[in-house]
A = this chain, B = another copy of it.
Amino acid sequence: MRLPLLAAVCCALLASAARPHCAAAAKARHFKWEISNMFWSPDCEEKVVIGINGQFPGPTIRARAGDTIHVELKNALHTEGVVIHWHGIRQIGTPWMDGTAAISQCAINPEETFTYRFVVDKPGTYFYHGHYGMQRAAGLYGSLIVDVAEGEEEPFKYDGELNLLLSDWYHESIHTQMVALSSKPLRWIGEPQSLLINGRGQFNCSMAAAHTPGATQCAAVNRQCAPVVLPVQPNKTYRLRVASTTSLASLNLAIGNHKMTVVEADGNYVDPFAADDIDIYSGDSYSVLLTTDQDPSSNYWVSVGVRGRLPKTAPALAVLNYRPNRASKLPALAPPVTPAWDDYEHSKAFTFRIRARAGTPPPPATADRRIELLNTQNRMDGRTKWSINNVSMVLPATPYLGSLKLGLKSTLAAARPAETFSRGYDVRQPPANPNTTAGDNVYVLAYNTTVDVVLQNANALAHNVSEVHPWHLHGHDFWVLGYGEGPYRGDAADEARLNLRDPPLRNTAVIFPYGWTALRFVADNPGVWAFHCHIEPHLHMGMGVVFAEAVDRVGKVPKEAVSCGATASALMNGDHL
């Protein structure tokens, strides 16, 4: 690896530490978006998607660290509100721009325009997506890529760049999905019909039918679902940016005959390591370096398959097209086979290898507070819910950022949610008492305190079922201190499992079946931040909490962000933000 200029290293390190960015050449980048429903054929079957400016996926935002992004967003949906969350952007000082309906802002009404303005302070691979109802699953997403500031360099070298935004796709509309998930009894939405790469997939056929017994070769397809082609020159190194905005699926990506070197995770540099395949959970992003050192007379399959659930969805394929081969030249080799869906050892091996790159700020040595969150599947009034410490999150009509800032009465339930769960809870069994209640799940965090969160997985309602849940935190990166099997006890043995030396900084971390994951962050970013399972139906079913962090230190919230519900009433009656 070439040694970058001292200034660049310095600046990159500063940025990765969330300190003031190197703003010398920072720019304002303006975008004008109109969000509407439109017909599209993501997997060659025509459905309705939520598009941006007539595109699906939405346009890629590309900026440099320190730039300010302005997105003037017009909601041209007919009857639905909308917001956009800038996944991985910490919104330091601008919590009202986080784009979480009912938490950081009011949903933008149809025909209204709202302008998002925020600084992308840190280089990395990010994305954006809808964060209201299940609109992300309707296709409301796109890439957000932040380069190092001008004159700086990444701490690794590459000749070219490729971008893969991964998602999954259901043929049922999100409206029907939301009704199904809220039904008594639950009607589970099942597995997605297709996996998409950059918004393109092929339903009910395979690009590589020759290698797949019984599969049908995909017919000539329309441009909207044409296979993605990644053109490369032989003997070069490419930075492959990969992010997953799936609704449900955990994914694994592999490239025929090629190794990858993982260098970035969630906008943070990691200690480089080689991998034959990488797991990508919903909410994750990675950069991997890929060297095109294989037989240049051939093309190669990029294969994306399902992990963690018995896959009923065919892998998505893209073509790594070694130029000057034609893109249409089918690879000689079969697509890489995705590891067995339930090979959790494989998943853990990959996840545990992710360590912070040297120079990443280490976590504080101790925490001021530990919040232990038990994840369980439960029942409530005949419905199925996901609960945290036996409370399933429901979101209010008025965003917390406004109502807490104004100190509105009855913003919060009388009692704060539990900080822990019973040490006697048997995580290996279905809940003894599956009945749950709904609540706000708002944890109030004091400024600059160091907070540990232990996410505890457990058995779902059915015997012998415990799923992977990728938890995503808004407003922060966290250090992933460690993972454990079975119940977390907080004893010396558990403490010994924690890595305080080189834990990676991330914004998304998984809990493995029956296991726990420990995270640490410093509550230094006043705001109201969602922390939730990034699986869209799980969040819809209540799998989340909210961190109300030093709300008294939040700056002047723009009225237009909280002009609804109780906040609007209070402001109309003369209250001031």
Contact = CB atoms under 8 A, between A and B. Distances in A.
B111 A395 contact: yes
A38 B383 CA distance: 13
Contacts of A82: 79
Interface string A81-120: 1100000000000000000001000110111100000000
A55 to B, nearest CB: 15
Interface string A556-577: 0001100111001101100000
A565 B563 CA distance: 8
A39 B183 CA distance: 8
Interface stretch (A171-179, A337-345, A353-361): A171-179
Interface residues of A, number: 42
Contacts of A133: 78-79
Contact of A48 (B37, B132, B179): B179
B568 A176 contact: no
Nearest to A540: B78
A247 to B, nearest CB: 15
A34 interface: no
A396 interface: yes
A135 interface: yes
Determine how many copies of this chain the complex contains.
2
Interface string A459-501: 0000000000000000000000000000000000000000000
B39 A175 contact: no
A514 B48 CA distance: 36
Contacts of A183: 38-39
A286 B559 CA distance: 48
A186 interface: no
Given A79-B135, A132-B79, A179-B48, A109 B564 contact: yes
Interface string A37-76: 1110000000010000000000000000000000000000
Contacts of A79: 80-82, 107, 132-133, 135
A79 B82 CA distance: 8
Contacts of A395: 111
Given A48-B175, A176-B48, A109 B111 contact: no
A337 to B, nearest CB: 38
A396 B111 contact: yes
Contacts of A39: 179-180, 183, 187
A390 to B, nearest CB: 22
Contact of A37 (B178, B568, B569): B178
A37 B183 CA distance: 10
A397 interface: yes
Contact of A564 (B36, B37, B179, B563): B563
Contact of A109 (B559, B560, B565): B565
8 contacts: A37-B175, A38-B183, A79-B107, A81-B81, A112-B565, A175-B175, A559-B572, A563-B563
